[in-house]
């Protein structure tokens, strides 16, 4: 069965944009996602949440893209958070220890970060 194509669903709430990701976050998807986050930073500011809950796969290209987006948000004074993905997606975050360096939350609306899952 062919994998689900990468897709971004944007949910707008007051002061927060949640990007719900599905499909596979790899080198092809990373460019699309980074462009979207850069545009959101410029246009809206506030808080940006990447929801990884429906992602099926992430590799080092996806990890590097997430780090670049975090840096971009810091430069543009946006808040940047992630919500955890399913177990196979958590593994690269665990192996690289990025689980400890990235601001994870249990859900997009949590106010407190939770670095227990990736």
Partner 1 sequence: MIADLMSPELEISLHLDPFAPRAARHHVGLLDRPSPDLRAAVTLLTSELVSHAVQQCDHAPADEVQLRAWMPEDVVRVEIRAPRGSLGWPADDGAHYEVLLLDRLADRWSIDTDEATACMWFEIDRHLDQDAPAP
- Sole binder of partner 1 in the list 88, 100, 107, 110 (CB under 8 A): 88
Q: Is 63 in the site for partner 1 (CB under 8 A)?
A: yes
Phi, psi of 103, deg, nearest 5: -85, 90
Q: Which of 24, 50, 78, 84 binds partner 1 (CB under 8 A)?
A: 24
For partner 1, which stretch binds (CB under 8 A), given 13-21, 44-52, 53-61, 75-83? 53-61
- Compute the distance between CA of residue 105 and CA of residue 75 in angstroms, rounded to an integer: 21
Cβ contacts of 40 within 8 Å, gap of 6 or more: 17, 19, 48, 78
User: Which one of residues 16, 36, 61, 103 is an interface residue with partner 1 (CB under 8 A)?
Assistant: 61
């Amino acid at each position: 069965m062919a994998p689900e194509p990468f897709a971004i669903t944007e949910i707008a709430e007051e002061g927060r944009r949640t990007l719900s990701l599905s499909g596979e976050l790899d080198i092809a998807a990373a460019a699309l996602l980074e462009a979207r986050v850069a545009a959101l930073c410029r246009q809206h500011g506030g808080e940006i949440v990447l929801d990884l809950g429906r992602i099926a796969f992430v590799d080092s290209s996806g990890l590097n893209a997430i780090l670049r987006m975090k840096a971009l948000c810091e430069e543009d004074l946006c808040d940047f958070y992630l919500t955890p993905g399913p177990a196979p997606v958590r593994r690269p975050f665990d192996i690289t220890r990025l689980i400890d360096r990235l601001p994870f939350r249990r859900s997009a609306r949590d106010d407190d970060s939770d670095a227990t899952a990736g």
